Amino acid sequence: MKKPILLSPPHMGDRELKYVQEAFDTNWIAPVGPHLDAFEQEFCQITGAGHAAAVSSGTAAIHLALQLIGVGRGDEVFCSTLTFAASANPIVYQGATPVFIDSDRKSWNMSPDLLREALEKKARIGKLPKAVILVHLYGQSADIEPILAACDEYGVALIEDAAEALGATYKGRSPGTFGLMGIYSFNGNKIITTSGGGMLVSEQSELVAKTRFLATQARDPAPHYQHSHIGYNYRLSNVLAGIGRGQLHVLSQRVAARRHNYEFYTQGLADLPGVEFMPEADYGMSTRWLTCLTINPKEFGCDRETIRLGLAEQQIESRPVWKPLHLQPVFSECECFGGEVAEDLFSRGLCLPSGSNLTDRELSLVIQTIHQVQQNSIQK
């Protein structure tokens, strides 16, 4: 049996187990304890965020952010369309309606021009959104400044979904730290993982304090259990925060390894026609969380799906670029500004195996298999 090559598997360093052992030794097994506090502090140091609250997932962090802004029934919330469903699901948890915004080609992220257009249109009919959820896709920051400027101009809160972009930069700073709140994910496939987890950050300490309050069942300060708010059970475990602390130590190595994958792929596939990699915008550094490319089938000789299936035959996992949310059956009724760019990237885009623990031999095997698929197609 050949060992499968996965898209983005977890990659532990050498301190995680020590921190977990420490949690066991001191019996801090609950969603409270010293690792949790330290993880939040160390996360702030690394990202430059003002304050941070560790929660059970990135999705939970988005949900709490919307809750804190007071998003509710009848409200609209703008969201990037080219993203994972978890970016928008919490909008629906709150009884609000998502409105999707297309990407621009230079970053594959939300188009600042389209966002402004959408805000202008909504302002004219007196129905501005309660918030904008801006996604930083595949390890690359969106063009935050013009987006933040448009949000500020219309008085709309900006929530940054930086689930895929920890370790990236935008003009030297971490995406996720510009908006009113930012969120990150430590799911098993992200650049670092706690097996499952997330973080909410903000410059405003009250928002982060309130996040912790809501994430731990909204208990009023009383010896008996008393509640004046509906709360959630969303806090991260102290055991998992230990894993997170270990992973933060190796974050810069993980970024370097993923960027190495990208370099290796670009060199190895440079001779193939009709292949274009996700561009890196000049305002920052992408982590290349996933190496993504688009295929022009006429020039290449076959389409994206043929490549994906050819790789799968060799036990190599690759995936189409996110199916845009406005095309998802569950969001089919939702309004979308633009959509053609995301649709094109979805129909021709492929994410290659991008784990930080890939060996050069494995990378070469992926490259070789893609060459093989292409050869077979043009001979037909």
Ligand X SMILES: *Cc1c(COP(=O)(O)O)cnc(C)c1O
Span interacting with ligand X, options 103-111, 161-169, 203-211, 369-377, rule CB under 6 A: 161-169
Which token pair is 13? Answer: 């360093």
If one asks whether residue 109 binds ligand X (CB under 6 A), the answer comes out as no
Total of chain residues touching ligand X, rule CB under 6 A: 14
In the bound state with ligand X, the residue whose beta carbon lies nearer, of 87 and 294, is 87
For the packed helices 238-249 and 251-268, what is the interaxial angle rounded to 10 degrees? 60
Span interacting with ligand X, options 16-24, 160-168, 240-248, 268-276, rule CB under 6 A: 160-168
Q: For the segment 183-202, give every residue that binds ligand X (CB under 6 A).
A: 185, 187, 198
If one asks whether residue 237 binds ligand X (CB under 6 A), the answer comes out as no
Which token pair is 365? Answer: 């095997």
**From the CB of 63, what's the least distance to ligand X, in Å?**
9
**Alpha carbon distance 288, 164 (integer Å):** 9
Span interacting with ligand X, options 84-92, 150-158, 206-214, 329-337, rule CB under 6 A: 84-92
If one asks whether residue 179 binds ligand X (CB under 6 A), the answer comes out as no
Sheet strand arrangement including 51-55? 51-55, 198-202, 181-185, 157-161, 131-135, 76-80, 97-101, 336-337
Q: For the segment 9-68, give every residue that binds ligand X (CB under 6 A).
A: 57-59
If one asks whether residue 87 binds ligand X (CB under 6 A), the answer comes out as yes
If one asks whether residue 160 binds ligand X (CB under 6 A), the answer comes out as no
If one asks whether residue 161 binds ligand X (CB under 6 A), the answer comes out as yes
In the bound state with ligand X, the residue whose beta carbon lies nearer, of 248 and 365, is 248
Chain residues that interact with ligand X, rule: CB under 6 A: 57-59, 83-84, 86-87, 135, 161, 163-164, 185, 187, 198
